Amino acid sequence: MAERLTTRLRELREARGWTQAQLGERIGVSRKTINTVENGIFIPSTLIALKLAAVLETSVETLFSVAE
């Protein structure tokens, strides 16, 4: 069965009132990369996942999960 990555990134970002560009600015990536992660188009590296979790003050496991 195909596995896919699901993310709560948009929900957690919007809870803080940040735009994609503002979140990108905080972790040093483009708005485009934030957009692709939120839409499940792009699976980020461990480095980006850790940076996202840190800036959103959550864990990587809360931010990302594997769905079947």
Partner 1 sequence: MTEPVSNVDLADRLARRRARVLPVLGLFLLIQQSAYFAHGDGARLVDQVRIGAWVAMSAVILFVLTTGGFWFRTAPVRALLNDEGTLANRAAALSTGFISAMLSAILLYVMQGAWEFSAAEAIHLIVTAGLVSALIRFAVLERRALG
Binding site for partner 1 (CB under 8 A): 21-22, 24-25, 28-33, 35-37, 39, 41-42, 44-45, 48
Smallest distance from the beta carbon of 23 to partner 1, in angstroms? 9
Smallest distance from the beta carbon of 41 to partner 1, in angstroms? 7
34: how many CB neighbours lie within 10 A of its CB? 27
Residue 41 Rama label (left phi>0; alpha psi -120 to 50; beta): alpha
Decide whether 47 or 66 has the Cβ nearer to partner 1: 47
Residue with tokens 């480095």: 47
